[in-house]
Amino acid sequence: MMTPDQRYFFDLTGYLHLRAVLSPEELAPAQAAADRYIQMPPAEWPPEFGADLARRDLTGYQHGFAFDKSLEVLTRHPATWPILMELTDRRPRFNGGTLGYNRHGHRFHRLHAGWQPSKRPDVRRYYVEDGQVRCTDFIFFFYLSDVSPGDGGLIVLPGSHKAHFDRPQGMFYPDGDAAYVADTVPPGVHNVCARAGDVVIMPEHLMHGALTWKPRDRDRRFLILRYNVQHMLTGQRRPFPEAIRQRLDPETIDLLELAPYYEYKDIVKKRENIA
């Protein structure tokens, strides 16, 4: 469950910023592992790992969560677990774990969301049930580096997860082109400045993007963990190839499987004391 403060803020704005979630003992090995992946020459990438280095706005290191156990365990971290339980009504499915890397020279990441008010409103859901927030598709961003005001990075449009109308094209930011740079935060938009060890949570419904990263001597690194509910196939049927699955703990495998609505996963039964 969320705390009443978390629930009120999350429902109202569509995001949560949890501070200092990771202890120094959790953070240091996760940062070191992320650094190893980012520094690794492409020729050494293990099977199914890698990144599209030509992408202009953000480098996504595929399956970053599976690169090292210090990253994999974040999929079921005790601080985010209660929120995972509330949003999915104890029916979680982990479906993606990319390592995000944002450096100077990357362009503006245009505003987008994994859902639009006008398109397939039945598929991805956000609603309230029994006084709790439910959401079928959402993201946990685990920050591994610091973002200060003025640096750039994640922007969100608070409240947009419950929008009834589509955002007029170009509103807040011009549509831009491949080289588009933007570093302003217009009224109504919020730039989330997270520190290493913080977690930012949002539904896929929330309109979001990223300002051009300004610092030349620092970059932005974060693990992007995506979840949905175990009984709905809103994304890929098998998001993790065999070479990745083979590396994972049984608890992680349990978390990423599809399952019927009326069954609880072993990891949920154990942690939630369900007989």
Among 224, 225, 244, 268, binds ligand AKG (CB under 6 A): 224
C-beta of 102 vs 160, nearer to ligand AKG: 102
Regarding 189 and contact with ligand AKG (CB under 6 A), the answer is: no
C-beta of 22 vs 206, nearer to ligand AKG: 206
C-beta of 3 vs 184, nearer to ligand AKG: 184
Helix (H) or strand (E) holding 201: strand 199-203
Residues in contact with 74: Cβ distance below 8 Å, sequence separation at least 6, in sequence order:
22, 26, 30, 65, 140, 142, 223, 225
Regarding 95 and contact with ligand AKG (CB under 6 A), the answer is: no
Regarding 201 and contact with ligand AKG (CB under 6 A), the answer is: no
| 20 dihedral zone (left: phi>0; alpha: psi -120 to 50; beta) | left
Nearest distance in Å: CB 34, ligand AKG: 15
Residues in contact with 221: Cβ distance below 8 Å, sequence separation at least 6, in sequence order:
31, 34, 38, 99, 100, 101, 102, 143, 144, 145
Q: Which of residues 126-155 bind ligand AKG (CB under 6 A)?
A: 154
The residue number whose beta carbon is nearest to ligand AKG equals 210
The 150-169 contact track toward ligand AKG, x by CB under 6 A, reads ----x---------------
- Going from the C-alpha of 259 to that of each of 94, 105, 204, 254, 265, the distances in angstroms are 12, 42, 21, 9, 8
Closest CA to 195 of 169, 231, 220: 220
Regarding 252 and contact with ligand AKG (CB under 6 A), the answer is: no
Regarding 102 and contact with ligand AKG (CB under 6 A), the answer is: yes
Helices (H) and strands (E) in the chain, counts: 7, 12
Helix (H) or strand (E) holding 36: helix 24-39
Nearest distance in Å: CB 234, ligand AKG: 15
C-beta of 194 vs 267, nearer to ligand AKG: 194
The separation between CA 126 and the C-alpha centre of its own chain, rounded to angstroms, equals: 16
Regarding 58 and contact with ligand AKG (CB under 6 A), the answer is: yes
Q: How many residues bind ligand AKG, per CB under 6 A?
A: 8
Regarding 76 and contact with ligand AKG (CB under 6 A), the answer is: no
